[in-house]
Each structure stands twice: as C-alpha cells, then as structure tokens.
Amino acid sequence: MRTALFKSTGQVPVSRDGEPLTDGQISSAVEDVLAATQFVDIHTHLFAPAFGKLGLWGIDELLTYHYLEAEFFRSSDTRPEEYWSLSKREQADVIWRTLFVENTPVSEATRGVVAVLKAFQLPTDRPDLAEARCFFEAQSIESHVRRVLQMAGVSIVVMTNDPLDPEEAAVWLKGVADHRQYRAALRLDRILCNWSSHWQVLAGQGYRVDERASGKSAAEVRRFLVDWYERMQPVYMAVSLPDTFEYPQETVANRLLKEAVLAACRELDLPLSLMIGVRKRVNPALRLAGDAVGRADLRALENLCREFPANRFLVSVLSRENQHELCVYARKFSNLMPFGCWWFMNNPSIVEEITRERIEMLGTSFIPQHSDARVLEQVIYKWNNTRRTLTPILSDTYRLLSEDGRGVTRGDIQRDVTRLFRSNAEAWTNLRAPVSGSQAQSS
C-alpha cells in the first residue's frame, strides 16, 4: 500500500524549464498547454466497441441524452408516456424540433450537441437531421472512436461496468479483448444500494449469501468482487450514494461496504469512488431524467477516511452546498481525492466556482473534471468546455502568483496541467495510460 500518494509517481515533469512568462503571455501559454495535453477521463458511461450496442454514439443518441430529455419536457406538451412510446429516431426528431428549431439551444446540454455537429462540419441550423444521420451512419466504430478521442484530447476513458447488469455481464463472461483507450471501473450500486433485489443473483452463481447479508455473506461478496476484478481489471470500484448516506450505521449496505468492498479494495490496492448526493427518481415518469440532488452529511465521508486510512477514496459530490466541505475534508485526509464537477455541477458557472475554490484550497492535488459522457461524441464538447473554462481560471491563478513574486514558466504550467488532468488519476488508480509519440507531453 502506498503511503505518500503524490510522491515519486514518475509521471510529473519536475523541471521548470523556460523563462518566467509575462502577464500577457500567461493566458496563451495556458491555452496551448491545455490543448496539447492528453487528458485521462476518469468517469464515463462509454463502452469499448467490443461491448456492441451497449456503447452509444451518433446523433440520435446525442439528442436523447437524459440531460436533454429533462429539458425537452419543459418546452413541449408531450407527456412522458407518449415520448417513451416513440422510436429512438422519433424521440430524437421531437427533441431536435423542440429544443433546436423552435427554441434557441442556449443551455449547456443543447450547446453541446451544436458543438459536436460543428466539430464534424455538419450544419447546426437545419429543420431536420438528415445530413447528420447520413454522416454518422457512414462511420465505422473503431476509427470513429480513435478520431473522437483525438478530437477531445483524451487518451484514456474509464467506463462504468456493472457485473450485475445481465447484458453487460454476458459480454464479460464471453471474454472481451483489452482496448488500449478504455479501462473498466467496477460499479457496485446494485450490490450496495439494492441488495434485497440482487443477492439472489449472487446466490444463483454459487456465492453463499443471504438476504440479511449475514454469516459468510460479506466474505462471499468479497470473493465475488475479486472474481470480477480478475475478469475486468478495473482501475477502481465505484458507487453512487444518496444524499441520506450515513456511516457508520448498522445497515446491510454498510456491512457490505466495510467487510466486502473496502476489504477487497485494500487487498487489490484499488481506490473506491464515492459519488454522493443523488436522489433517485423524484419524478419516476422521466426515468433516467427523473433523478435529483440533495445535500449530504459529509461526516459519513469523514468517518470513512478516518476509520480506513489504508483505503483511498475518489469522491465527487452532487450538491453545490457540499463542495466546500469536500475541499476541507481533502485537506484533512490525504486518502481522499476530490474529482470532477458531477452532473448538475457540470455547468461553466458552477465549474468555475468549484475549480477556483479547489485550487485555492488544494493547489493541484485534485482531479478537476471527468466527462460523465454516455454518448461517445459528448467527450468532444465536454472536454472542450473544460479547457475553455479552465483557461481563465489557471491564467488568473498564475498572474496572482507572478504578481506576488514567483515567476511562472511554461514548464510550471505543463507540470500542473499534467498533474491535474493525468498524473493524479494515474497515481491514484494505478492507471498507466499509453501515450503515443504524437500525444507526448511537451515540457
């Protein structure tokens, strides 16, 4: 188990090469370095091509993203049941007409679709989707993936892999070849948040578990996780938790968390990602678009970080009100790594606030962003937005430092950007992203 989490990762350039930059040069140096550095996308819902139709891509998937569905119901009289009865193509058509033709696409999620169309030089203002469909239908997935990730400036994406999703598990059990740009993350929601509906699946696979998770159950869940570790080679385990999450508390979930998950993470030297603050299905009629947010009591996180110093926790919180506490806890516990501006936080105004605060309180010891992309081409606009939002934030930071008396070189900027968007993730998860010649980081 490593103890000094940021020391000698061997990934961060240490030289401060170059002359100190003038105020006028800082912003373009920041922009250049952000553009030239290949990022690691630490949390997505994308799938490698070998997963077949589980991997979403193309214009119809982009338009039926649940962020857009939520916006659609605000601007259309269509009732959710009517919408769900349409084919994917018809859904995409009504969303396009409603949000992009009859209204101006000014929201973050609608602008994202516009940016993707523009990136492929497709028209952004047509009354229908004919041209866009024609373009995407002509792509073949392997080369399209390479092109999209290159356009996004991302070398590695981490998937979300649920061993209790029957469709996904079937692919893993058949055997799936490694893809150089995708890594797995073992998702635990069904086990930790919905044990009563899933314990029988484990029992059916020969694990000696019961509904109350008593007796040997925790040890057997641990065995299940180790078996899936062998199959998936995940870079971390992950769970999304409600705003009501408490620890310690005598619950089945907490027993499994402590005795199965955290024990397996220590044994396998994997971090656990906790995404805290979701309130599932406050409007069930909207399906995936029906989840909301609640402020969590982060003392649960404090208790976990203190009680399990040999575990590493990657943490994202969904409520804006929890962001400041998360920074404070990260200052107290070096086994806590804040990451990303998650879901409802991923809007430029909020990303800016959160990121400035994190830099002020944590320096470069955090992971500023993940894409959470569900549809392949989303990585283009999401990472473009991150670079655009980060440019003034980092530039202001360096100008202040320069004014305060410490000249900043291009080498400093490269070292920081590399640490923020690559090395922290690599050091924390043992993720070693292959970097090709053209992607090599300049220093």
Q: Binding residues for ligand RAT, per CB under 6 A?
A: 45, 240, 275, 288, 343, 372, 374
- Cα separation, 264 vs 271, in Å, equals 10
- Shortest reach from residue 318's CB to ligand RAT, in Å: 8
Asked if residues 381 and 153 have their Cβ atoms less than 8 Å apart, the reply is no
Among positions 372, 377, 412, 416, the unique one binding Zn ion when judged by CB under 5 A:
372
Residues facing 293 on adjacent strands: 278
- Shortest reach from residue 194's CB to Zn ion, in Å: 17
CB of 346 or CB of 409, closer to ligand RAT: 346
Of 5-13, 364-372, 382-390, 428-436: span binding Zn ion (CB under 5 A) = 364-372
Burial label for 64, CB within 10 Å (0-12, 13-18, 19+), is: buried
CB of 161 or CB of 397, closer to ligand RAT: 161
- Shortest reach from residue 383's CB to Zn ion, in Å: 15
- Cα separation, 387 vs 377, in Å, equals 16
- Cα separation, 337 vs 366, in Å, equals 6
CB of 168 or CB of 372, closer to Zn ion: 372
List the one residue out of 156, 173, 176, 153 whose CA is nearest residue 165: 173
- Shortest reach from residue 274's CB to Zn ion, in Å: 12
Which entry of ligand RAT, Zn ion, none binds 240, CB below 5 to 8 A by partner kind?
Answer: ligand RAT
CB of 240 or CB of 254, closer to ligand RAT: 240
Helices (H), 308-409: 323-332, 348-362, 378-403
Asked if residues 271 and 312 have their Cβ atoms less than 8 Å apart, the reply is yes
- Shortest reach from residue 44's CB to ligand RAT, in Å: 9
Residue 100 corresponds to which tokens in the numbers above? 């992009």
- Shortest reach from residue 389's CB to ligand RAT, in Å: 18
- Cα separation, 411 vs 19, in Å, equals 9
Which entry of Zn ion, ligand RAT, none binds 343, CB below 5 to 8 A by partner kind?
Answer: ligand RAT
- Cα separation, 320 vs 350, in Å, equals 8
How many residues touch Zn ion under the rule CB under 5 A: the total is 1
CB of 114 or CB of 292, closer to ligand RAT: 292
CB of 330 or CB of 345, closer to Zn ion: 345
Interaction site with Zn ion (CB under 5 A): 372
